[in-house]
């Protein structure tokens, strides 16, 4: 399959814009919108670990802890060297198993 090089460049711009939109929504405490953006990014690129990480953070803010843990696990699977996420994952895992509501 042959595609025009500009199409890939435009897609990368969209991905970056969506990631920025997600951050903007998060900073405004609009976690449902944040989640929707990162789910869109993941549909576009299911191998983008940072999108799963941010999805997990949004899910945590929404109180959806088990789903947040699953998103963190996906991030680790895609990028096992993401050191910050290991800390977040550990806290989430401890909080979930002990019934803590936020971590």
Return d(Cα 89, Cα 3) in angstroms, integer: 39
pTM for the whole structure: 0.74
**Side-chain half-sphere exposure of 21, counting CA atoms within 13 A:** 16
pLDDT tens-digit profile, the chain (103 residues): 333 344 345 666 788 888 999 999 999 999 999 999 999 999 989 999 999 999 999 999 998 988 998 998 899 899 888 756 556 666 666 666 655 555 4
Q: Rounded to whole angstroms, how far apart are CA atoms 72 and 80?
A: 11
CA-CA distance, 79 to 43, in Å (whole number)? 18
Which CATH code is given to the segment(s) 5-98?
A: 1.25.40.10
The DSSP output letter for 20 is H
């Amino acid at each position: 399959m042959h595609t025009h090089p500009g199409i890939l460049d435009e897609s990368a711009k969209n991905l970056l814009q969506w990631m920025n939109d997600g951050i903007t929504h998060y900073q405004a405490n609009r976690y449902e919108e944040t989640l929707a953006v990162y789910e869109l990014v993941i549909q576009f690129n299911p191998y983008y670990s940072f999108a799963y990480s941010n999805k997990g953070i949004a899910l945590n803010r929404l109180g959806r802890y088990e789903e947040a843990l699953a998103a963190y696990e996906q991030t680790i699977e895609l990028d096992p060297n993401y050191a910050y996420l290991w800390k977040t994952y550990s806290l989430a895992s401890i909080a979930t198993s002990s019934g803590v509501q936020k971590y």
